[in-house]
Amino acid sequence: GAGVSQSPSNKVTEKGKDVELRCDPISGHTALYWYRQSLGQGLEFLIYFQGNSAPDKSGLPSDRFSAERTGGSVSTLTIQRTQQEDSAVYLCASSLENSPLHFGNGTRLTVT
């Protein structure tokens, strides 16, 4: 069956540009998470959507980062005015309530 799909798989952008990263979760999964994995680092929590509840945005590193989830399915993570320190792999995961997370393969973002 289809897993979590992320696009693009790789994105190179110039400093100062905006980028949008897309996540298609597994159909029917109510929870959706975004994480950031920097080289040599662990997974940094960014944002968590659960059903129709207000998202937990406590991990977003600055107001340049935002995310939305439309219709309880697809999610878009937007980074405005990208900086070099935003370079990382951005991982999306989805799950049913109280079940393990299923991860996508990530989007590798490089800011030049």
Q: State the nearest-atom distance from the C-beta of 84 to another protein, in Å.
A: 22
Candidates 41, 62, 66, 112: give the one binding another protein (CB under 8 A). 41
Candidates 11, 13, 22, 45: give the one binding another protein (CB under 8 A). 45
Query: Cα(106)–Cα(92) distance, rounded to whole angstroms?
Result: 7
Is residue 7 a contact residue for another protein (CB under 8 A)?
no
Between 81 and 99, CB nearer to another protein: 99
| Residue among 84, 81, 39, 33 at smallest CA distance from 60 | 33
- The backbone region for 106, taken as left when phi is positive above 0, alpha when psi lies in -120 to 50, beta otherwise, is left
Beta pairing partners, 10: 108
- What residues from 47 to 86 belong to the interface with another protein (CB under 8 A)? 48, 50, 56, 58-59
